[in-house]
A and B are shown apart, each in its own frame.
Chain A
């Protein structure tokens, strides 16, 4: 059985995900996305994974959501509130969403996952840290390189060629 905290968290997460896609203003949408991501962090806490939860809070809520907010602010005002979409496409999308939910949900409910409960001890986050520095250290280095190259790539993409140094205001 589920408890109240789980129920409240799932309502918050799913509800704000729908709000993020459906509300008119992109700014409120990104704030709703922030709430969704925080809800996922709450699920991680319920799953006894505090390290992943804090990572989620700092990376997703702290950096990605703020990045999205800043990008939204760079866009013209009419476009933020603009909401063009095809009516038929929208109904087809809702049908697809419900079909996916019902289909995969039925498969999962029919499977043997229902009886799976656990009393095993939680994973210590010290073990995760030790794993990162021993077994997964090559992967960690590759991930750092990917992050650095993606940041450099993003800066190169977003750079404006048409502004030279003597035109700057400062």
Chain B
């Protein structure tokens, strides 16, 4: 194997930074979900990379759990976006400020 651990970790850092940028700047609710997805994926990449280089199998198991939980999170998040869109006819985060229960 020619690639070192550091290469994978650097790619994961870049993906994390892009995800944080998306979360901080974008006002579209669906685009913010894109940013969350990127952050989760960079975490999974880290888990699997360290599991390969330590080496043991528990990192891969944890990554599998993480992927499944992320699927649940996205389903609920998109349902919330749909509900908010129905209430406000918009998916801009600024319009959701009055969502106070």
A10 and B11 in contact, given A68-B30, A85-B26 (Cβ under 8 angstroms): yes
Known: A68-B30, A154-B76. A90 touches B5 (CB 8 A): no
Q: Are B67 and A13 in contact (CB under 8 A)?
A: no
B84 to A: closest C-beta gap in Å: 10
The reply to whether B21 and A96 form a contact with Cβ atoms under 8 Å apart is yes
Contact indicator A158/B25 (Cβ below 8 Å): no
Please, which residue of chain B has its CB at the minimum distance from the CB of A90? B25
- Count of A-B contacts judged by CB separation below 8 Å: 235
B67 CB, nearest partner CB in chain A, Å: 5
In the assembled complex, which residues on chain B have CB atoms less than 8 Å from the CB atom of A119?
1
Of residues 47 through 77 on chain B, the ones whose CB sits less than 8 Å from some CB of chain A are 48-49, 51-53, 55-58, 60-61, 63-65, 67-76
Report A-chain residues with C-beta under 8 Å of the C-beta of B8.
43, 47
Chain A residues with CB under 8 A of B10: 105, 108-109
Of B41, B71, B83, the contact of A36 (CB 8 Å cutoff) = B41
A82 CA / B22 CA spacing, docked (Å): 16
For B7, the chain A residues whose CB sits under 8 A away are 2, 6, 10
A169 CB within 8 Å of chain B: no
The answer to whether B75 and A117 have CB atoms under 8 Å apart is no
- The distance in angstroms between the C-alpha atoms of A132 and B71, with both chains bound, is 19
Q: How many residues of B contact A (CB 8 A)?
A: 72
Of residues 2 through 58 on chain A, the ones whose CB sits less than 8 Å from some CB of chain B are 2-3, 6, 10, 13-14, 17-18, 20-21, 26, 29-30, 33, 36-37, 40, 43-44, 46-49, 51-52, 55-56
B interface residues with partner A (beta carbon < 8 Å): 1-11, 13-22, 24-28, 30-31, 33-35, 37-38, 41, 44-45, 48-49, 51-53, 55-58, 60-61, 63-65, 67-76, 78-83, 85-86, 89-92
Q: Could you give 23 example pairs across A and B, Cβ below 8 Å?
A: A6-B3, A10-B14, A13-B11, A59-B68, A59-B70, A60-B37, A60-B71, A75-B91, A76-B89, A79-B92, A86-B25, A92-B25, A96-B21, A104-B17, A105-B13, A113-B5, A113-B6, A116-B4, A132-B64, A143-B65, A157-B76, A157-B83, A160-B86
A-side residues, CB < 8 A to B, are 1-3, 6, 10, 13-14, 17-18, 20-21, 26, 29-30, 33, 36-37, 40, 43-44, 46-49, 51-52, 55-56, 59-60, 63-64, 67-68, 71-72, 74-76, 79, 82-86, 89-90, 92-94, 96-98, 100-101, 104-105, 108-109, 113-123, 127-128, 131-132, 136, 139, 143, 146-147, 150-151, 153-155, 157-158, 160
